[in-house]
Structure 1
Amino acid sequence: MENFELHLKDMPSALLIGKNGAGKSTVGIVLKVFQSIGRGKNRVSDLVQTQDFARGRHDVPIRFEIEVLINKKLYQYTLALELPENFEELRILEEQLLVSGEPIYSRQKASVTLHNNEAKFMVDWHLIALPIIQADPLHIFETWLARMIILAPIPSMMTGESNGETLEPKQDGTNFGKWFSGLLVRYPAAYMDVDKYLRKVMPDIRDFQNELIGKNFKMMSVQFQENQAEMRISFEDLSDAFISLVR
């Protein structure tokens, strides 16, 4: 896609639906680039490949831009990548972060400028500077990017098993059990929100449990009830449609 903008103002979440080839996966890939930067991945070749240029036009830079409102402050981040002639790996052309219109740092190729004290230093032009600079407000923005949740779940690969906890669900949902365990440990009240939502779409649900069945090993199950009949089913034995609802 070229010259594409996605506006999500005042929307805490969004569901992308469209025909094959409409660009849903590409949007996810772009958001994944920002998320990965927030989580500390800054080698350009780990994020963008030469085949990612639109229509193979290597002479036109790839430009990523994101605007985020955090605590009433507008964060504007720009990253431009280029592939010079005879280069096998993309490099940084430009990089910049503005907060409420004020430049925090800017970059031209390898040269980085911190605008609060006009300090200048060099960074390998194959490395993104944002994860390297730790001071606020960069850390605030970086944390927001890292906590972004991007989902394109594959229900058949999602299980209720977990041998640990996390608050970072994988895009394909394969660590659903670990994420659900982490969610309940960190935010116990979230159980009621999930239960309330599921009961709206499936009134016969009685409860769901995440039981410890071994050392550091848990298994999720769901219990259904209709009239006097009850049935408990392990999470992975549920239908793909139900698993998608839970996700």
Structure 2
Amino acid sequence: MLKRIYIDNFRCLVNFELDLEAIDLFLGANGSGKSTVFEVLQKIQSFVSGDSKVEAIFKIADCTRWQNSQIQRFELEIIGNSGCYKYELGIGHNRDKCRVEYERLWFDSQPLLKFELGEVQLYRDNHSEGPQYPFDWSQSLLASLMPRNDNTKLTWFRERMARFIIVQIVPSLMLDESEREQMRLTPKMENFVSWYRYLSEDQGKVAEIGSILRKVLEGFTNFKFERVSEDNLVLKLRFLAEKGNIKPIEYRFGELSDGQKTLVALYALIHGTKSEDYTLWIDEPENFLALPEIQPWLIELYDLCSEGKLQSLLISHHPELINYLLVSPIGYWFERQSNAPVRVKRISDRVAENSGLPVSELIARGWLNESA
């Protein structure tokens, strides 16, 4: 589970720190920095996985405008593998050039990796010193590591970082054809069908997702992949026809409504990843859905997170999500003024008890700070 985030000198995030739970809700006005946190995690994940060199991921334009520092600092703490990992990353900018100033990884306060000044020192699983050698300033050392019997703690962390799913569902961008399976979702879930194709290797997951959707999508029976070219498959959904017509009616995924696509994506996200140590970051999951549609999904998500089968971080402005999730102190309120850093504070249903109004109503009236 991701336990802590620290971000410094990235846009409006200055000396910014969050401690996280199994489920957290980010609240605040537009422009208060909620999505910026998601974007930082996307960049760190992309860096660690070796998707691109550092200059393609971290830009000098993202340094905080009202500061003179040219170094961006990031820290993550992840609980897992019977211990606590701490990852530290420093990115230096000099005009249009940037480089990795340092990259460090610790396990229970013992070193696993240290990269500083162009030199790397690796440590074995027992924390004895391993190889030391010069390394490229432009990429993550973690991305280049080959698994060995004595570096399983290092490779575990890299694999755990790959299990961050950070998305905002945009149904209009979701393609219904797939050239190949893809293990990682794109930020707007454009490649959902390719990701679902990867999930479909596990027939148990497919059966469970199908069973859930039969309760959610009226008339839905099953998914079907159909070849449309030498390389491409299209995802189709079958629905029961009206009485008297035995043959089900098929629709391409792209022919569904935005709400139907969103429901399919949301249920696939939680039932395709549960019990596998994933962290889901979902920006406004309620978009395109009515209250009776989002509420059952929210209950399932909350139960999975409460049972330790999933971790989830949500951004939302929806009253139902706000009031339902804030039955315990699992929310953060983001606020900032122009050209000033983000400030965050914990909120819970206690503010509602003090005022006699739901938290969502306090937010709508601009009274949250007065009641907190």
Tell me if both proteins adopt one fold, taking TM over 0.5 as the criterion. yes
Partner of 1:89: 97
Correspondence 1:139 to 2:127: no
Correspondence 1:126 to 2:126: no
Deviations 1:179-210 (A, max 9, x none): 1112102x111112222332343343222322
Question: 232, 239, 248: which one pairs with 1:224?
Answer: 239
Correspondence 1:107 to 2:115: yes
Q: Distance in 2 between matches of 1:191 and 1:118?
A: 43
Contact 2:84 2:108 (C-alpha < 8 Å) held by counterparts:
yes
Deviations 1:65-116 (A, max 9, x none): 11112222211100012224xx421222332100122111223332322342
Over 3 Å counting, the alpha-carbon distance change for 1:210 and 1:41 in structure 2 is closer
Q: Distance in 1 between matches of 2:179 and 2:131?
A: 46
Over 3 Å counting, the alpha-carbon distance change for 1:126 and 1:169 in structure 2 is closer
Q: Distance in 2 between matches of 1:46 and 1:235?
A: 33
Mark the runs of 5 or more structure 2 residues left unpaired by the alignment. Answer: 1-12, 266-372
Cα drift, residue 236 of structure 1? 0.5
| RMSD across aligned positions (CA) | 2.6
Cα drift, residue 140 of structure 1? 1.5
Cα drift, residue 119 of structure 1? 4.7
Over 3 Å counting, the alpha-carbon distance change for 1:92 and 1:109 in structure 2 is farther
Task: State the one-letter code of the partner of 1:89.
Answer: K
Q: Distance in 2 between matches of 1:218 and 1:119?
A: 46
For CA contacts below 8 A with separation 6 or more, give which structure has more relative contact order: 2
Task: State the one-letter code of the partner of 1:183.
Answer: L
Correspondence 1:207 to 2:207: no
Cα drift, residue 50 of structure 1? 0.3
Partner of 2:182: 166
Q: Tell me the secondary structure at the aligned position of residue 139 of structure 2.
A: coil
Partner of 2:199: 183
Structure in which a larger fraction of residues adopt helix: 2
Correspondence 1:236 to 2:246: no
Over 3 Å counting, the alpha-carbon distance change for 1:155 and 1:15 in structure 2 is farther
TM-score of the aligned structures, taking structure 2 as reference length:
0.58
Q: Distance in 2 between matches of 1:239 and 1:233?
A: 11
Task: State the one-letter code of the partner of 1:160.
Answer: D
Task: State the one-letter code of the partner of 2:210.
Answer: D
Moved more, 158-167 or 125-134: 125-134
Contact 1:221 1:234 (C-alpha < 8 Å) held by counterparts:
yes
Q: Distance in 2 between matches of 1:194 and 1:17?
A: 30
Moved more, 221-230 or 51-60: 221-230
Moved more, 234-243 or 64-73: 64-73
Q: Tell me the secondary structure at the aligned position of residue 55 of structure 1.
A: coil
Q: Tell me the secondary structure at the aligned position of residue 63 of structure 1.
A: strand
Aligned residue pair count: 242
Q: Distance in 2 between matches of 1:28 and 1:237?
A: 30
Q: State how 1:10-25 maps to structure 2 within 5 Å.
A: 10-11=22-23, 19-25=29-35
Contact 1:130 1:138 (C-alpha < 8 Å) held by counterparts:
yes
Task: State the one-letter code of the partner of 1:139.
Answer: T
Contact 2:178 2:232 (C-alpha < 8 Å) held by counterparts:
yes
Contact 1:166 1:183 (C-alpha < 8 Å) held by counterparts:
no
Mark the runs of 5 or more structure 1 residues left unpaired by the alignment. Answer: none
Partner of 1:155: 171
Task: State the one-letter code of the partner of 2:217.
Answer: M
Contact 1:38 1:144 (C-alpha < 8 Å) held by counterparts:
no
Over 3 Å counting, the alpha-carbon distance change for 1:162 and 1:17 in structure 2 is farther
Cα drift, residue 243 of structure 1? 0.8
Moved more, 221-230 or 140-149: 221-230
Q: State how 1:33-112 maps to structure 2 within 5 Å.
A: 33-41=43-51, 43-55=53-65, 57-59=67-69, 61-84=71-94, 87-112=95-120
Partner of 1:2: 14
Q: Distance in 1 between matches of 2:264 and 2:28?
A: 22
Q: Distance in 2 between matches of 1:177 and 1:15?
A: 27
Q: Tell me the secondary structure at the aligned position of residue 67 of structure 1.
A: strand
Cα drift, residue 18 of structure 1? 5.4
Moved more, 188-197 or 123-132: 123-132
Task: State the one-letter code of the partner of 2:98.
Answer: L
Contact 2:217 2:260 (C-alpha < 8 Å) held by counterparts:
no
Cα drift, residue 120 of structure 1? 3.4
Cα drift, residue 45 of structure 1? 0.5
